[in-house]
A and B are shown apart, each in its own frame.
Chain A
Amino acid sequence: MTGSKVKRITYCDAIREALREEMKRDEAVYLIGEDIGRWGNLFGATKGLLQEFGPERVKDAPISEAAIAGCAVGSAVMGMRPVVEIMYIDFITIAMDQIINHACKYHQLSCGTVNVPVVFRTQGGVGMRNSSQHSQSLENWFVNVPGLIVVMPSTPYDMKGLLKSSIRNNNPVIIIEHKSLYFTKGDVPEDEYVVPIGVADIKREGTDVTIIATSWMVLHALEAAEKLAKEGISCEIVDPRTLWPLDKETLVNSVSKTRHCVVVTEAPAEGGWSSEAATVVTEKCSGDLKKPVKRICGMRTGIPYGKIEKSVVPNDEWIIAGVREVLE
């Protein structure tokens, strides 16, 4: 961020700024989703955009996830650049067909002549005591779909820069926001910038252990690292930012240096992105690794309602225990 003046904004502000800047930059960009216009999204992420750009560019849609996603795909094929909002990731189940079978297939079926530049914005994770149908971490499903980019930013800086890159990108993208991050703050440059897709970021440098964490888990990893530093344990925190394409190089370089690795994710372990990261590290760093890679994942359960929701997903204590285990 050198050279440019910075300002402190929330993750939510970052979304709005990115959308606003891209809508001004390119007439083809439009927003579609439930309650994104008059209401400005549940968290205020699209507040004011309807007033500024009008109802043709900020389309309040009926409660019709399949139609919203299908409409986005059809209009993208025709050269528009929709940014879809699926209110909660849990509701994406109803639009899976349009995303998986259509958005992610048209480029190949058209021999590369048709692009589907759709961004599906949605949010997941715990944090609002929303229970089992409003708090899931479903990113693992999407990592498995060829043709789809999966983005999960953890800071306002990354959010703004990655959302802008996603909108300019010609592939379908799903960008998964986190409800516990919307009101966290961070520095972003006053000047225009983008964050490239497929490039990880080192959120904290360290020498003893690499913690690969994503989204809200990055914050927990940072807290854990702070506590462990007091004991003289130095953690390096790598945030992939894009789950696919995964920046294997940065992961591998870090683990080659620290020779210990912990992977942290809010989603359940089985069949997931965390296994992918752990395997990449194991395959490429086996000579360097002093201990097997440790995974710290969400429990394989429906997220319980209320105060105990956070007890089934990792926190800094879980991460500290994992780090101790690999350093033992």
Chain B
Amino acid sequence: MDRDKLLGLYRQMLVLRHFDEMCLDLKMKDLIMDGFHPYSGEEAVAVGVCTNLRPDDAVISTHRPQGHSIAKGSTPRQIFCEMLGRRGGVSQGIGGPMQWIDTPNNFFCGSIVGSGITIATGIAMAMKREGKGRICVCFFGDGASNTGSFHEGLNLAAIWKLPVIYICENNQYGEAMPVREFVSVYPISKRAASYGLEGVMVDGNDVEEVLAAVEKGVTAARSGDGPVFIEAITYRTRGHYGGDPEYTYRTRDEVEWWRKKCPIARCKARLLEEGVEESVLIALEQEVVRELESDLAWALEQPFPTVEQATDHVMIPLAEGGRLK
């Protein structure tokens, strides 16, 4: 891969990592008021996938959406605000850390495990009808692959040949349950065959590999070949939520083993191999941190929604004749 392109991916992954780590800190300080689900360790998936997308493509994500959202184009400022429940968020602070909609960015997420898989079919159906070659990317976890929505959603997209790219982020755990204990077949990509799809498996900690696999998938989906299923094998190096009792369900050794496979460290090693100066990479990281700190400082100054605003936009007022009180 072209050095500058790789450098760009590296920078984006750094944004996601530092954003996440700063959120963990905000959670510890109780400034994030709901559960915060870290994305640390999985950055290569969000970045590798979203780099392939057009702004008018849609992404539907999960209860762990921050990496996907920023990689798709939401600004860290907006997402900090959403985490903090402030008006500057994409859902004006009403959504919180697990559910927001960034309309200009065509980004959706939600906290009900598996639901996005059915909604993606509808988005993709409308896109197919529209005929502009847009696609919908649907992120979900290994745990979500056991929900009814997974099976119903994949079947529907397959029979109707819809332009959806399913990205199963296999981060090894559904809360505290290890994936091997809760799926009947492994790897999960095998399940794709049940719906007539090829299940592609990639190393989700290798941003170049993710990018290449998704690039192929995007081309296929855009050209009308129907859905694409990619399972990215990765690991969340933090708890299920910030501050969970993680060493009750996994060992320190296991976490350490995966930390060595850190997607960012791997990308950095590649860049060094390519002859990029270490000092350049350090300066880049410092710049990312400085920018995020200023974004956070801005976010912390934004107002909270008022109680009156809590009922904004619940419904569209009825047209004349209908009484809505």
Contacts and interface: CB of A to CB of B under 8 A. Distances in A.
Interface of A: 56, 61-62, 64, 66-67, 69-80, 82, 94, 97-98, 101-102, 105-115, 146-147, 149, 165, 168-171, 194, 196-199, 245, 247-249
A70 B110 contact: no
A13 B108 CA distance: 39
B321 to A, nearest CB: 4
Contacts of A249: 323
B120 A247 contact: no
Contacts, number: 164
Contacts of B322: 165, 169, 196-199, 245
A97 B136 CA distance: 21
B153 interface: yes
A67 B103 contact: no
Interface string B108-124: 10101001011111111
B123 A74 contact: yes
Nearest to A118: B122
A69 B99 contact: no
Contacts of A113: 101, 103
Contact of B119 (A73, A110, A170): A73
B110 A102 contact: yes
The 4 closest A-B pairs by CB, nearest first: A70-B118, A74-B122, A78-B126, A67-B152
A197 B325 CA distance: 12
A66 B125 contact: no
Contacts of B94: 108-109, 111
Contacts of A61: 156
Contacts of B314: 107-108, 146-147
B129 interface: yes
A300 B100 CA distance: 39
Contacts of A77: 108, 119, 122-123, 126
Contacts of B95: 109
Contacts of A66: 118, 148-149, 152-153
Contacts of A107: 313-316
B115 A64 contact: no
B92 A98 contact: no
B149 A67 contact: yes
B155 interface: yes
B75 to A, nearest CB: 16
B2 to A, nearest CB: 34
Interface string B283-323: 00000000000000000000000000000111110111111
Interface string B121-151: 1111111011000001000000000001100
B323 A247 contact: yes
Contacts of B126: 74-75, 77-80
Contacts of B123: 74-75, 77-78
B325 A101 contact: no
Interface of B: 58, 60, 90-92, 94-95, 99-101, 103, 108, 110, 112, 115, 117-127, 129-130, 136, 148-149, 152-153, 155-156, 159, 312-316, 318-325
**Quick one: which of A64, A107, A199 has the most chain B CB within 10 A?**
A64
A70 B119 contact: yes
A67 B153 contact: yes
A98 B92 CA distance: 23
27 contacts: A64-B156, A66-B118, A66-B152, A70-B122, A70-B149, A71-B156, A74-B122, A74-B124, A77-B126, A78-B58, A78-B127, A78-B130, A80-B129, A107-B315, A108-B312, A109-B94, A110-B103, A111-B91, A111-B94, A111-B312, A112-B312, A146-B315, A168-B319, A169-B316, A196-B322, A198-B318, A198-B324
Given A71-B156, A79-B126, A196-B318, 20 more contacts: A56-B129, A67-B153, A70-B117, A70-B149, A71-B119, A74-B125, A77-B126, A102-B115, A107-B316, A110-B313, A113-B103, A146-B315, A147-B314, A165-B322, A194-B321, A196-B322, A198-B318, A198-B322, A199-B323, A248-B325
A147 B312 CA distance: 11
Contacts of A76: 122
Nearest to B324: A245
Given A107-B316, A111-B92, A245-B325, A67 B112 contact: no
A109 B323 contact: no
A127 to B, nearest CB: 29
B110 to A, nearest CB: 7
Nearest to A63: B152
A197 to B, nearest CB: 4
A101 B119 CA distance: 12
A171 B152 contact: no
Nearest to A112: B313
Residue of B100, B119, B318 with most partner-chain A CB within 10 A: B119
Contact of A71 (B60, B103, B121): B121
Contact of A97 (B90, B115, B315, B316): B115
B137 to A, nearest CB: 13
Contact of A171 (B92, B120, B129, B315): B315
